[in-house]
Structure 1
């Protein structure tokens, strides 16, 4: 059975959603995702399909739409895409105009990842509109909070549905991503003794202590990380991303803090990585003249993903995509997605969607509409085959 998706219909779906502001409330100018959730819920209601609305946080609901399958009680295929976007500050276009120029649709979230959500909705609509049932039920989860704390996908796991596999929407250029990195973000603090800057010898400068910490991170720790690599995602990485210290220009600083971003690779345990960093800093304090250093608990901790290329969902997505764009091979990426939470719950997951990660979060974010159409057809083709 051949699936043909109308480009104008896809464009209308994506325009509708880009015009609904859904900047994650964790960012400047953020608003809850309720407007997006209302849109997705109404979409399923128009098709006569069940939609389960789950309040993850006030005004921040997930919506799980359900397309019945031939085998009604079989574990479902999950399609998941997040509704939130990053901030709009410094954009050079109207972030919510959803203007179409030269076959591209512009706006915040157009690429990351409302395009994936539009493709999934269009695929569901094709089945409902043509009276076709997939072999197993298909659930579409439109989720909140992927850009900050992953609360939405965690709530999907708490909803109690059984899932055989998942397609997680992100801009992958229609390639099948089977591996990605995890992340540990935490604060490291050095503690000194304040004094008047005219008598610095009476104090202990926390910034000087932090200079030793940063030098150790950029030296010995970085060297060790570069020696380990995963075949698809490369080596783990560590970066100092923020620093704060001192209270006045005439006071020896008592405290200095940095934030670090440690990207983990498949095979690493993110919690153990944090414990290792804490042990490393404790050792540094002992060896380097008594630097008083504290490693605070992670404020973000996520896991790497590594799905077997031989799993059914990967094979079917890759096969359906190859029919449209030619050769498709399983890839790894350095960023993280909601898929890692599903994979840790035992759900084989592949990350897939239209657009390029190079356009995500940019000042003039856009996606090619033809890719969104192809994504919809590839997803629908996978739905037709999964669970046969």
Structure 2
């Protein structure tokens, strides 16, 4: 096949095609642009240069591009290929930012192809997804279509998801595919999370005066034991068919001033990973139950609780038409059905689904996200591009 994107699957796409592919050349160009998230790495380049680059690529291909920059220096791009009318709208969502270059072994901005893989910072997470969705949307826009095709190329996914939140203030579509790497699997659910801070109060005193002091760190030890016990109960509890159980753990603990003093306070941060049916309110009830029981059994135990951050779970409906469209398109390209599974971590899928958008996640195969060697399998890049192009045509009409 001359274009490598008309079926037959990744196994039938050869190295000669890969060196000519539009998505590979675009991916090289995107990796070469520093887009390290400055919220993760002070002084990081941010998304401005790569936002300019995607606009320069998409505009001459018929996309109306709008720059959203609620946070200065942190732009997201909404690019729309208008339909003729009467069809459903579909968003392809991907993030422009990457994690640190310093943690990469070598020059993360100099992509290298080796043994059917492309190596570089962002190759897997997720500039390969950006390249696939841009090429697929441009290809689909070359044929008349009824519904609008929307590309959301967003800032800050690696930190606080400011970009997708910004996009949803301006555009909501019928369906969405988040093109994060999934190993060519169809991801239809993921866990949520919540963080809490518990400050356990003691009474500061000289270490020689136990009659005056209350050891906040020792009191926090009882809290840590209770957290561990609850984590064990969660692990043995109700299981989601794709996500397993929720979990809880203590993340950090700080307290005390020096060895010769009783600590007046001790602060523990706690993380709860949630499954559908659980949320930050579930977490708050669990922690308040622990604190109330500790106070009931120990008159000297006092503590304050604050839920500091929370993100919801995600689960596509069993009748998801986007999932059906991706599955059928993937079958045409590869001759097989995609595996359906959940992810243990949080993604922007939850934000899109909460806005009423029929959402799934589907993307490339590879490895090394946030690691010293990051790479994408180039056959999978071709499969994802082909699948997305067919999905657009099938869904928007």
TM-score by length of structure 2 reads 0.90
Contact 1:194 1:252 in 2 (8 A): yes
Matches of 2:93 and 2:103, distance apart in 1: 29
Shift of 1:148: 1.7
Matched position secondary structure for 2:188:
strand
Q: Which residue of the partner structure matches residue 171 of structure 1?
A: 181
Shift of 1:4: 4.2
Matched position secondary structure for 2:271:
strand
Contact 1:51 1:63 in 2 (8 A): yes
Shift of 1:224: 3.8
Q: Which residue of the partner structure matches residue 8 of structure 2?
A: none
Shift of 1:364: 0.9
Contact 2:63 2:81 in 1 (8 A): yes
Q: 2:288 aligns with which of 270, 278, 283?
A: 278
Structure 2 counterparts to residues 145-160 of structure 1, below 5 A: 145-159=156-170
CA 279–56 in structure 1, closer or farther in 2 if over 3 Å, else same: farther
Are 2:245 and 1:235 equivalent residues in the alignment? yes
CA 126–193 in structure 1, closer or farther in 2 if over 3 Å, else same: same
- The gaps in structure 2 that reach 5 residues or longer are 6-16
Q: Which residue of the partner structure matches residue 311 of structure 1?
A: 320
Q: 1:320 aligns with which of 322, 329, 341?
A: 329
Q: Which moved more, 1:117-126 or 1:222-231?
A: 222-231
Are 2:124 and 1:114 equivalent residues in the alignment? no
Are 2:192 and 1:182 equivalent residues in the alignment? yes
Contact 1:3 1:381 in 2 (8 A): no
Q: 1:140 aligns with which of 138, 151, 160?
A: 151
CA 17–274 in structure 1, closer or farther in 2 if over 3 Å, else same: farther
Contact 1:309 1:330 in 2 (8 A): no
Matches of 1:289 and 1:50, distance apart in 2: 65
CA 208–75 in structure 1, closer or farther in 2 if over 3 Å, else same: same
- The gaps in structure 1 that reach 5 residues or longer are none
TM-score by length of structure 1 reads 0.92
CA 84–211 in structure 1, closer or farther in 2 if over 3 Å, else same: same
* Number of equivalent positions: 381
Shift of 1:382: 0.3
Q: 2:57 aligns with which of 29, 43, 46?
A: 43
Matches of 1:3 and 1:176, distance apart in 2: 24
Are 2:37 and 1:27 equivalent residues in the alignment? no
Are 2:306 and 1:293 equivalent residues in the alignment? no
Matches of 1:381 and 1:311, distance apart in 2: 17
Q: 1:359 aligns with which of 368, 374, 382?
A: 368
Q: Which residue of the partner structure matches residue 125 of structure 1?
A: 138
Root-mean-square deviation (Å): 2.1
Matched position secondary structure for 2:389:
helix
Matched position secondary structure for 1:112:
helix
Matches of 1:253 and 1:322, distance apart in 2: 62
Contact 1:226 1:236 in 2 (8 A): no
Shift of 1:37: 1.1
CA 289–99 in structure 1, closer or farther in 2 if over 3 Å, else same: farther
CA 250–22 in structure 1, closer or farther in 2 if over 3 Å, else same: farther
Matched position secondary structure for 1:204:
coil
Matched position secondary structure for 1:17:
helix
